[in-house]
Structure 1
Amino acid sequence: MLMTRVVHSEIARKVRAVVDAADLRSQDSVLPLESAARPVLQQWLDDQMKPRFAAFRELCLGPSEAEPKEGKYVEHNTWQHKLDYELDKALCLTRAGQLFDLVALYPESSAALEDLRLSLQSADQRLNVAKTLSSSLHMRLLHPGAHTRDIIQMYVHLVRALQEMDPSGVVLSRVVSPLRRYLRGRKDTVLVIVASMLGDDPDFTLLKDELERADQEEQEQAEQAENKRRRRPRRSLQTTAPPSSNKTNGKRPTKRRLPNSRRDATYVSDSDASSDEDWDDPHWVPKPVEAGSGYRMSTSKDIISMLTSIFDDRSGFIAALEKSMADQLVQVKSYKAMKEYRNNMILKKRFGERNMGKCDVMLGDVTESRRIDSEVHHRRLPSSGSAVEGMVSRLHPLIVSRQFWPEHTTKPGSAVGGVPTSSAAGAGAPVGTAGSIAEFTLPPLFRHAQEEYGKTYSQSKAMRKLHWLNHLGTVELDVELNSGQSVAVECSLIQASTLEVISRCKGRSTQAQSATAGANVITLTDVMEELNLQREKDARDALEFWVQVGLIEPVAGLVDAFIVLTSLPARVAAGEEEDEADDEPL
């Protein structure tokens, strides 16, 4: 009747006002997005709306008709329960419009998601909630303007939040399939997933935390199984049957194993693992009628497996893991790769030792490089005090087996940094975008140091020699200026080589010399000719690095010409003094 429609309309308005700040009135108070609203709304309904509605009913119908009669579904079909249903329905529909933001805020939004979980139990609005969320995902996330890392991050939040909000898995099964199809079509999805599991980005460690959490849970389950096995009592060999003199009765009956027995199975395909009929699950329940095509997958607690199963072929995913591992190993210092060793152990449990074989070889190269480097320095005679000997004593290359490392790592000019048959990667790890540079010729001082190190290496490794990949490696420098000031810098090998050219080049441009009143000038052409560079970008990037450090500055009015400074600029010197003050003991 009319009064019922008015009350339902007021309930919906009140929910929108409290939850979504819409249709506000003076007596309404808006709650924060992530706060629980259901208890507040339920109290409002019980304290204000229900008494008023009861009074209207009694006034219109009379005392005898207003009271529910026995035998007419009193408990579940009273007007009080209908109002509760309308409140939960309105809350579901309002929260559904906010669900995208609630998922993005998870776990801070757990209280608001609890509103939805409780409301869905009484008002079955799962399909409407799923439809609204799916529309929000298509509009706000699944488009070319969104970064793949943001989509992956939302995927992880989505699985965690919706499994908590809707344990039945219906909502997640309805929205996860379009998201997986969209990720399958992006070219960098695999690389982003691998980077999120193994990278060091503090803003994107969700999958890395999930990987470690799954490993800890697996260890705890293994320990519990081991303890349970130890506590299990031994079975008695006695039988309750009476002894028999017949020899055949005393024999132990033989058990015939069926050829198709489960214990003979050694491999289960992905399609079998995701089958609707999971015979090994003691908690198996039928698939809900409203569930989508990805229902069985949506009930899994393993987010890593859900992501990796986006692709039918795991070979591309394993190749991306190998590339990521190589990129991290060429950046280790002092051969310390404990974090990479631990990551590899976790990944081997996840993907199998056979699939991670190349990663094992790469990690073995780090250990072997540390042993060889110690032997090379032990074989060399005491330093004669020359500059070359001093540089050799500080040279610690990573020697790798090139055939087991990704090509993008060992090939100069690739998009990502790589390593020096055996190959040696400079004096350390690449910095910045040094791995994207092409080949170049080292200055004589650096080149002679590499040659001396290679000779000693060949003495311990007969019939082998080092092929140096100079696009890798870092150099730690203490640069002293004519003013007596010094600055400590860690840079790439091409940047260090550029500084060596700067230190001994007086400039060849007459125009630059005249414009700077005889000051030492270095030009882009000087660096390219000295280092035999083929790309202007490599030389320009190296010079720009030393501009930022404060050792050179551009010449006004001239392109690609730089004055060599004899003292640090005021801004750099002030920064150095501030750093020294911070390092003073209290």
Structure 2
Amino acid sequence: MLRRDTLAQLGRALQGCFQHTLDTLSRDDTGRALEEARSLAALLERMGAKELSVEAAVAGTLSHLQAHLEERATRNASAPWLAEALEYTASWPLRLLQQLLPEAGASGWHLWEQRLRYFVYERAGLIFTDSLFDLVVDFPDSLPTLHDLRACLENTSLLSHVAQCFAAATKKRLLHPGAATSDIVQQYIFSIRAMRHVDPTDTALAPARAATQDYLRTRRDAIRCIVGLLTADEEGEDNVVLEELEGEGEAGGAGVGWGMGVPLIPCFDGPDADLQALAEAERWRPEPVDAVERVTGSDAVSQLVGIWGSKDLLVTEYRSLLADRLLAKQGYDCDRELRTLELLKLRFGDAVLHTAEIMLKDLADSKRINANIRSAARCAARGERAATVTATMLSALYWPQGSVPAPDEADLRLPPDVGSWLEEYGQAYHALKAPRKLQWCPSQGVVQLEVTVGDQALELTVTPAQAITLLSFRERSEWGEAELAEQTGQTPAMARRNASFWAMAAYEPFILGMLANFDSLPQDRIHNMLKMFVSDPPYDKTLDQLSAFLAHLVAQERLTCGGGTMYKQKL
């Protein structure tokens, strides 16, 4: 009798021997190594150690498969390899067991094949799970690998493990203060899209979804970020929120799978209808026992809205952001905003978005009324002064409270000539829309000016307060801060800030010129280059003044600012 520790050592040695046999066969299939393994097994059987031989052969086979799967996963992580691994399993590993267990017969070998296939599904599923967060980031390029993971889940009991591991990776790599809210929102949508292909029951996504939603509730800018992405001017390829709203994202469950991933009543026609129905029935899988109840509204936008339990907060924020965007427009083109509104109405209904519809209608009506007034002004005896004004007429009761100041709150004092232009425009409006009259909000809108500095003619778009500040210098070349504030109806701080803006305006061509020659520049380098190269007029401004002016150029969409410090010219 062999001692127990001796048997253990012998077992480990035999396991290594059989694993080495498979390693050799995978490199050179001459069959000599297989013959040696069969001879070793026969010798062990004559020694009365057949059971030890079988256990060692199985352990060696599984160790070899584990190493093979890990090597295959690292070779090309983006390429699908599960089918290749299953095909390999049915070759040398299974043949080795068939040689060692000839008495098992066809039914026994079939059971061993199923055991090896389960092992491959389980180990491959664990390998895929370790990199699942990266697969979601790379979606849709990672779709073939996600389909491999889905096959693993359909043939194992790894679903709960995948759900917990993906939630842990999401918390560690995404849900932290260093991640921008927009990145969290867009990655959340990528997770929804990608996990539809992995698990149509939503079980694998449920813990990560709950963690993400809880975290987004703590971000004060989350709702505004979501609405900002929904109403973005440019559809860029990175704006997956807008893609989901427009219905361009991945739809529904991917292909045939567990309960909810298949049509409820599939229809088959033609002479092969019975065979098609049978094949469909064979592909059906029941929902796992640990499947969770699916959330109401499986699309990503509905799930985003569901974070706060009601659409009211999102609609309110949408109206506020829409008001800001419409008031900042230099024209009446609202095609993009109108398209977004129609898509939102399909999801949330007409009633809650009625006021937003009126806001957009205000701009459409303003465009038509303004064209009529300008046409009439050019033909009238009073000349074209009213034609220099372009107005947006707002139905104040339907705009968000605070987005437009009441007329008595607008304290800016207009120069007499500008005031007369607005008065003539108002008279033309009254003649066209009697008995309605306009109540002006002088602080809103923009002013287009042509300013001559030396031999340079600058065309600038500025705020009304900035324009009034400059026009005040037609009367006097110097103003005290308090006097200028009194003259223009501004606070002293506003007057000082707007005067500083005009002190910087002459340098705009130089700033745009240097940024045209560089991909991007930091603020301090722009400041130093202006001091070195600009002499007419001499650059003698402070870094704070330059910072305020650069912020204005960014607001006017002349520049973009990345990372808070790097400026580049907007193309």
Is the TM value for this pair above 0.5?
yes
1:212 aligned partner: 246
Return the alpha-carbon distance in structure 1 between the equivalents of residues 393 and 319 of structure 2: 17
2:105 aligned partner: 69
Amino acid at match of 2:67: R
User: Which aligned pairs between 1:31-110 and structure 2 lie closer than 5 A?
Assistant: 31=76, 33-42=77-86, 45=89, 50-51=91-92, 54-55=95-96, 58=99, 61=100, 65-66=101-102, 68-72=104-108, 74-75=109-110, 77-78=111-112, 80-110=113-143
Deviation of the 1:135 alpha carbon: 0.1
Deviation of the 1:161 alpha carbon: 0.5
1:426 aligned partner: none
Return the alpha-carbon distance in structure 2 between the equivalents of residues 140 and 215 of structure 1: 24
2:361 aligned partner: 364
Deviation of the 1:160 alpha carbon: 0.8
Deviation of the 1:466 alpha carbon: 2.9
1:405 aligned partner: 399
Deviations 1:295-318 (CA, angstroms, capped at 9, x unpaired): 3227x5422222222222322222
Contact 1:528 1:539 (C-alpha < 8 Å) held by counterparts? no
Return the alpha-carbon distance in structure 1 between the equivalents of residues 474 and 265 of structure 2: 74
2:533 paired with 1:539:
no
2:288 aligned partner: 288
1:347 aligned partner: 344
Return the alpha-carbon distance in structure 1 between the equivalents of residues 362 and 353 of structure 2: 15
Return the alpha-carbon distance in structure 1 between the equivalents of residues 285 and 104 of structure 2: 38
Deviations 1:151-175 (CA, angstroms, capped at 9, x unpaired): 2111211111000122343212343
Return the alpha-carbon distance in structure 1 between the equivalents of residues 320 and 128 of structure 2: 42
**Local SS of the residue matching 2:444:** coil
2:212 paired with 1:170:
no
**Local SS of the residue matching 2:459:** strand
Return the alpha-carbon distance in structure 1 between the equivalents of residues 543 and 244 of structure 2: 54
Q: Which has the higher contact order (CA 8 A, sep 6+)?
A: 1
Return the alpha-carbon distance in structure 2 between the equivalents of residues 291 and 545 of structure 1: 63
Deviations 1:207-251 (CA, angstroms, capped at 9, x unpaired): 22222227999xxxxxxxxxxxxxxxxxxxxxxxxxxxxxxxxxx
Q: 1:396 aligns with which of 390, 396, 399?
A: 390
Return the alpha-carbon distance in structure 1 between the equivalents of residues 543 and 82 of structure 2: 69
Deviation of the 1:560 alpha carbon: 6.7
Q: Which moved more, 1:324-333 or 1:495-504?
A: 495-504
User: Which aligned pairs between 1:328-477 and structure 2 lie closer than 5 A?
Assistant: 328-380=325-377, 382=379, 392-411=386-405, 440-462=412-434, 464-477=436-449
Q: 2:175 aligns with which of 125, 132, 142?
A: 142
**Local SS of the residue matching 1:193:** helix
Amino acid at match of 2:65: I
Q: What is the RMSD of the two structures over their aligned residues, measured on CA atoms?
A: 3.9
Return the alpha-carbon distance in structure 2 between the equivalents of residues 544 and 34 of structure 1: 56
Amino acid at match of 1:5: A
Deviation of the 1:14 alpha carbon: 3.5
Return the alpha-carbon distance in structure 2 between the equivalents of residues 530 and 558 of structure 1: 28
**Local SS of the residue matching 1:170:** coil
Deviation of the 1:141 alpha carbon: 1.6
Return the alpha-carbon distance in structure 2 between the equivalents of residues 42 and 286 of structure 1: 23
1:4 aligned partner: 58
Quick one: structure 1 residues 558 and 370, their matched pair in 2 at CA, closer, same or farther if it must change by over 3 Å? Answer: closer
1:220 aligned partner: none
1:243 aligned partner: none
Return the alpha-carbon distance in structure 1 between the equivalents of residues 389 and 350 of structure 2: 34
Can you give the 5+ residue segments of structure 2 that lack an aligned partner in the other structure? Answer: 1-54, 252-258, 267-283, 511-536, 547-571
Contact 1:215 1:346 (C-alpha < 8 Å) held by counterparts? no
Return the alpha-carbon distance in structure 1 between the equivalents of residues 542 and 249 of structure 2: 61
| TM-score (normalised: structure 1) | 0.64
Deviation of the 1:491 alpha carbon: 3.3
Return the alpha-carbon distance in structure 2 between the equivalents of residues 559 and 327 of structure 1: 27
Quick one: structure 1 residues 57 and 382, their matched pair in 2 at CA, closer, same or farther if it must change by over 3 Å? Answer: closer
Return the alpha-carbon distance in structure 1 between the equivalents of residues 483 and 86 of structure 2: 78
2:532 paired with 1:496:
no
Q: Which moved more, 1:152-161 or 1:457-466?
A: 457-466
Deviation of the 1:133 alpha carbon: 0.5
Q: Percent of counterpart pairs with the same letter?
A: 24
Count the aligned residue pairs.
Answer: 437
Return the alpha-carbon distance in structure 2 between the equivalents of residues 167 and 559 of structure 1: 55
1:184 aligned partner: 217
| TM-score (normalised: structure 2) | 0.66
Return the alpha-carbon distance in structure 1 between the equivalents of residues 508 and 487 of structure 2: 22
**Local SS of the residue matching 1:374:** helix
Deviation of the 1:332 alpha carbon: 4.0
2:306 aligned partner: 309
User: Which aligned pairs between 1:315-326 and structure 2 lie closer than 5 A?
Assistant: 315-326=312-323
Deviation of the 1:366 alpha carbon: 1.6
Contact 1:498 1:542 (C-alpha < 8 Å) held by counterparts? no
Contact 1:527 1:539 (C-alpha < 8 Å) held by counterparts? no
**Local SS of the residue matching 1:296:** coil
Amino acid at match of 2:62: H
1:151 aligned partner: 184
Amino acid at match of 1:365: D
Amino acid at match of 1:135: A
2:540 paired with 1:555:
yes
Deviation of the 1:410 alpha carbon: 1.0
Q: Which moved more, 1:200-209 or 1:315-324?
A: 200-209
**Local SS of the residue matching 1:466:** coil
Amino acid at match of 1:555: D
Deviations 1:49-71 (CA, angstroms, capped at 9, x unpaired): x526644773xx4xxx3453255
Q: 1:161 aligns with which of 177, 194, 214?
A: 194
Deviation of the 1:204 alpha carbon: 4.6
From the two aligned structures, give the one with the greater helix fraction: 2
Deviation of the 1:559 alpha carbon: 9.0
Deviation of the 1:400 alpha carbon: 0.3
Contact 2:469 2:499 (C-alpha < 8 Å) held by counterparts? no
Q: Which moved more, 1:105-114 or 1:141-150?
A: 141-150
Return the alpha-carbon distance in structure 2 between the equivalents of residues 9 and 498 of structure 1: 81
Return the alpha-carbon distance in structure 2 between the equivalents of residues 112 and 196 of structure 1: 29
